[in-house]
Structure 1
Amino acid sequence: MGIREERLEKLGYSLDNTVKPAAMYDLLAVDGRTIYASGSIPFEGTKLVGTGKIPTDVSVEEAQIAAALCAANIFRTVRSQIGELALIERVIRLTGFVNSAEGFTDQHIVINGASQLCTNIFRDSGKHARSAVGVYQLPLNASVEVEMILKLKQDLE
C-alpha cells in the first residue's frame, strides 16, 4: 500500500468500500494520461450518506463531509480499476454540484470538503481548478455530487 492509500485509510476511508455505478455509465474513462471520473455521490458501501437540500435538510458541515466522501469514492475507484494512487500525477479539475435550498449561496464552502481531501491525500499535486455549482436536485436526492479530471504520470499500457 502506498503513502496516498495510507493517508486515505488514516482519514477513515477504507479502500475496501468501492462503489458501483447507479445507472448505465462507467465510473472512469481514460484517454491517454487523462482520467475522467464520473460524478460521485456520497455512498458509503451501499448506503447513501446525506440526502436532501443544503442547508435545510443537511448542514453545511455535514455536506462538506459528504463532499469529501464523494472524492474518496473516486480515489477508491481509481485504485480498484487502475492501480496505486501513486500513478496519479495530479488532480487537474474538480466540479462539485450542491443540492441547494432556495437562497443558499455557500456552495463553494461545501465543496471545500472535497478539495481539502484532495490536498490531504495528494499534497500539492491535489491542488486543482474547480467549480462549485448549486443545483435544484441531484440523483437519488443526494446532497452533493463531485466529478474530477486526473492526470496520470504516464499512459497506461
Structure 2
Amino acid sequence: MTPYDRLAALGLTLPPPPSPIATYVPFVLEGDMLYLSGQGPKLADGTLKTGKVGAGVGIEQAYEDARLTGLNLLSIIHAATGDLSRVRRVVKLLGMVNATPDFTAHPKVINGCSDLLLEVFGERGRHARSAVGFGSLPDNITVEIEAIVAIDA
C-alpha cells in the first residue's frame, strides 16, 4: 500500500503546499536529506488554526491542529520529491506548541503529527522528536512543526 493509498483510506487528500510567510523556502533538499521549514495548522482555504493551548484551546483540538500541520508537511514533501514513496525515513520532528506557562502536555499535542506520519509511512514514519512549549508562535498559530526526512534517489 502506498502512502497515497493510506491517505485515501484515512479520508485525507494533500492540500496545496503552504506558501512561506516570510523570507525563507519551505524546504531544502541536500543530497538524500530533506529539511522542511516549520509549518502550522493551515486549512486548504488559507484559514489558520489559532489560539493558546491551555487557555481556550484544549489538548484534543491542539492534537487535531498538529495532525493538520502534519498533512501540510506531507504536501511539502510531495512537492519536494514528487512522490511520497521516496520517503526512506522520517528522521526528526521539532514540535512547538503555543502554550500557557503552566501547560505541560506538549508531547500529547505533537502526537497528532507523529501519529499521522506513522499511519501514512508505517515504520518509516517512526522518528526522533522534540515537543516544546513557546510563549507565542507566528500569527498566533497553535502549533508549528518542522521535519527532517531521508529520501531515496
The 2-side partners of 1:67 and 1:58 are apart by 12
TM-score, reference length from structure 2:
0.94
Q: Which runs of 5+ in 2 are unaligned?
A: none
Listed as ranges, the matches of 1:1-157 within 5 Å are 3-45=2-44, 46-49=46-49, 51-154=50-153
Greater mean deviation of Cα atoms: 7-16 or 56-65: 7-16
Structure 2 counterpart SS, 1:133: strand
Check 1:12–1:58 CA distance in 2 against 1; reply closer, same or farther (3 A cut). Answer: farther
Structure 1 residue 6, shift from structure 2 partner: 2.4
The answer to whether the Cα contact below 8 Å between 1:9 and 1:15 also exists between their aligned partners in 2 is no
CA distance in 2, matches of 1:44, 1:135: 22
- Number of residue-to-residue matches in the alignment: 152
Amino acid in structure 2 at the alignment position of 1:48: L
Q: Aligned-residue CA RMSD in angstroms?
A: 1.3
SS in 2 for 1:19: coil
Unaligned runs of 5+ residues in structure 1 are none
Q: Secondary structure of the residue that 1:15 maps to in structure 2?
A: coil
List, as ranges, runs of 4+ consecutive aligned residues in structure 1 with deviation greater than 4 Å.
none
Once structures 1 and 2 are overlaid, which stretch shifts more, 86-95 or 8-17?
8-17
Equivalent position SS for 2:5: helix
Cα separation, partners in 2 of 1:108 and 1:16, compared to 1, 3 Å = closer
The percentage of counterpart residues that share the same residue type is 36
Paired AA for residue 69 in structure 2: C
Tell me, in whole angstroms, the C-alpha distance in 1 between the residues paired with 2:15 and 2:69. 15
- 1:65-118: per-residue Cα shift (whole Å, max 9, x none)? 111111110111111232110111010001100001120000011011111011
Q: Distance in 2 between matches of 1:58 and 1:41?
A: 15
- TM-score normalised by structure 1 residue count: 0.91
